[in-house]
Structure 1
Amino acid sequence: MYNSPAHYTTLLTTLRTKFPVSAPQLPSSDPLHTNAGTLANPTFANPAPASGLPSNATDAVLLAQILDDLVVAQGKYVVMIAHSAGGASSTEAAKLEYLVRERKAKGQKGGVLGILYMTTFAVCKGGSASMRFGEYYAAVEGKDLACFKIHVRVFLP
């Protein structure tokens, strides 16, 4: 299954009534980058591209470029919403220098306020989804992960 921003049309339309929104097509889930046809007509009969398949790291590079523009160049505040494998890519892209607290300490405006993980694993930088299972998962269940301070907030209009 290939995900595209079109899957989130209702959510994106709602968010756009109050906020500017960027919803890029990630290379790892784009059939045009995986030699699997198009979003409208995917095929799994084609071999992988000679250059290899795009990875979460490829997605993270794209997201970091967007953060560079929004945070560094424009001084905007950003909340990232990550779905599925985008959780790992978003975590990798949200480098320390993009975080609000780091930028504020340097007298800079803007920054990443947080990442909303939507039906995905919250993966620490350098970690993997598989670390969330087995003994590791049992050890952290119900506790903050070393790389995350878990907050639950409800935002009402």
Structure 2
Amino acid sequence: MSSPKPAILLAHGSYHTPQPYARLRALLSKQGYETHCPQLPCASRDYLVADPRNPSFDQPPPSQGLPTQDLDVAALRAVLRRLVEEQGRDVLLLAHSSGGWTATEIATPELQRGKRGLEGRGGGVVGIFYMASFLVMLGESVWSTFAASTGEAEQGAREGQGWFSLLKERNLTVFNDPPYFLFHDLPAEEAEKWSETLTACPFLTVPLTNDAYSELPCAYMLCEGDRVVSSWYQELMVKKAEESSGRKMQIYKCPGGHESFLSYPELYLDSIVEFAEKCA
């Protein structure tokens, strides 16, 4: 009997909730894939402001302070450990945008299928599928990787306006004009709908400590119409990851923007399924 399909664990991007990924997850579910996408603290209103019921982010942080990516790692790793260590499942990681850092950080050797197999244990991470993600190098952070792309990422911006603003007194960033920068390849009404689900983002300065690129099969969805992380910078990050790891990434291409899993869901579905089968 053939092995069951891997479970899929999605690390969502900054400013996001799991809501925008629901359609892609539903399509994967119809293909027999069990999917998980926990809300990460660094994008959760509950962790970002003193009063989560207040729609404004121009308010004090919670009494415990702003979250760090260590909390994101803990939230995602808890699901991964349950799937791998308790259920013995193979797991394919999906990563969107800054979720590239989180997925790479949690895919540590003791949770990789290859390493576990050598120890006579079943299950483990079989690969990582990055979706317009930041590919962060060891010792670097999302913030430092983003800073290197800022000038190019803002070429598509309207004159005099970048895609994010700093709330310096709050140590937060908020998105500017998401219908233009994120959801430009969707109908206006749908773009507004998803824009309303966005939150804020603290400075993501935690350095990457795990080198998953060298140990796991990796794929990258290159988004050619991205107005946040330009396609040429995506290609540059892939090249750097390949050079540092000595491994080639499987490249997929989409004409859409940063959120093209919404505008081209079938293309994403086919690409993820193909990669999952290669990792089986």
Is the TM value for this pair above 0.5? yes
Aligned to 1:150: 248
What is the root-mean-square deviation in Å for CA atoms of aligned residues?
Answer: 2.7
Q: Describe the superposition over 1:65-113 as per-residue Cα deviations: whole angstroms up to 9, x where unpaired.
A: 1111001111101011111221111111111100111001101111001
Aligned match of 2:118 in 85, 105, 122? Answer: 105
Task: Using structure 1 for the length normalisation, give the TM-score.
Answer: 0.82
Task: Using structure 2 for the length normalisation, give the TM-score.
Answer: 0.48
What percent of counterpart residues are identical? 33
Flag structure 1 segments of 5+ consecutive residues without an equivalent. none
Amino acid paired to 1:37: P
Corresponding position: 1:56 with 2:69: yes
Question: SS state of the match for residue 239, structure 2?
Answer: coil
Aligned match of 2:46 in 22, 32, 44? Answer: 32
Aligned to 2:258: none
In structure 1, C-alpha distance between the alignment counterparts of 2:246 and 2:102, rounded to whole Å: 16
In structure 2, C-alpha distance between the alignment counterparts of 1:141 and 1:89, rounded to whole Å: 17
Task: Tell me, yes or no, if the aligned pair for 1:57 and 1:89 is still in contact at 8 Å.
Answer: no
Task: Tell me, yes or no, if the aligned pair for 2:238 and 2:249 is still in contact at 8 Å.
Answer: no
**C-alpha deviation, 1:124, in angstroms:** 3.5
Aligned to 2:224: none
Corresponding position: 1:85 with 2:104: no
Count of residue correspondences? 152
Flag structure 2 segments of 5+ consecutive residues without an equivalent. 1-13, 150-232, 252-270
Aligned to 2:18: 5
**C-alpha deviation, 1:148, in angstroms:** 7.0
Q: Looking at secondary structure, tell me which structure has more strand per residue.
A: 2
Alignment of 1:5-24 (within 5 A): 5-17=18-30, 18-24=32-38
